[in-house]
Amino acid sequence: MRIVVLGATGRMGGYLVPWLVEAGHQVITVSRGAEPLFRPHAAWKAVQHVSLDRAVEDAAGTLGARVRAMQPDVVIDNICYTLDSARHLVEALAGQVSHFLMCGTIWVHGPSSQVPTSEEQPRRPFGEYGIQKAAIEAYVLEQARRYGFPATVLHPGHIVGPGWAPLNPAGNFNLRVFRQLARGEELALPNLGLETVHHVHAEDVAQGFWLAMTQRSVALGESFHIVSPGALTLRGYAEAVAAWFGQPARLRFLPWDEWRKTVSEEDAQATWDHIAHSPHCSIRKAERLLGYHPRYTSLQAVYESVQWLIDHGKLEI
Name which of 79, 88, 187, 87 is nearest 142 in CA terms: 87
Helix, strand and coil in the chain, % to nearest 5: 45, 15, 40
d(CA 146, CA 203): 32
Residue of closest CB approach to ligand NAP = 10
Dihedral of CA 144/3/92/204: which sign?
Answer: positive
Segment interacting with ligand NAP, rule: CB under 6 A, options 9-17, 61-69, 229-237, 288-296: 9-17
Burial of 146 (0-12, 13-18, 19+ CB in 10 A): exposed
Rule CB under 6 A: is residue 162 a binding residue for ligand NAP?
no
- Binding residue for ligand NAP (CB under 6 A) from 43, 70, 79, 254? 79
| Stretch of 47-55, 59-67, 93-101, 300-308 lying at the interface with ligand NAP (CB under 6 A) | 47-55
Q: What's the min distance (Å) between Cβ of 248 and ligand NAP?
A: 29
Select from 159, 182, 242, 249 the one that contacts ligand NAP (CB under 6 A): 159
Within 104-123, the residues that bind ligand NAP by CB under 6 A are: 105
Say whether residue 198 binds ligand NAP (CB under 6 A): no
Q: Which is nearer to ligand NAP, 37 or 254 (CB)?
A: 37
Relative orientation angle of helices 298-311 and 234-244, to the nearest 10 degrees: 50
Residue 129 and residue 105: Cα distance in Å, rounded? 9
3-state secondary structure 63-86: HHHHHHHCCCCEEEECCCCCHHHH
Contact 75, 1 (CB under 8 A): no
Stretch that binds ligand NAP, among 19-27, 39-47, 152-160, 295-303 (CB under 6 A): 152-160
134 vs 189, beta carbon nearer ligand NAP: 134
Which residues in 58-87 are b (16+ Cβ under 10 Å) and which e? beeeebbebbbeeebebbbbbbbbbbebbb
CA distance 100 to 80: 12
Question: Contact with ligand NAP (CB under 6 A): which of 11, 25, 99, 280?
Answer: 11
Q: Which of 28, 75, 86, 103 binds ligand NAP (CB under 6 A)?
A: 103
Is residue 158 a contact point for ligand NAP (CB under 6 A)? yes
- The verdict on 163 binding ligand NAP (CB under 6 A) reads no
Site string for ligand NAP, 239-268 (x = CB under 6 A): ------------------------------
The answer to whether residue 277 forms part of the interface with ligand NAP (CB under 6 A) is no
We find the least distance from the C-beta atom of residue 58 to ligand NAP, in angstroms, to be 9
Residues of the shown chain interacting with ligand NAP in the complex, contacts defined by CB under 6 A: 7-13, 31-33, 37, 52-55, 78-79, 103, 105, 156, 158-159
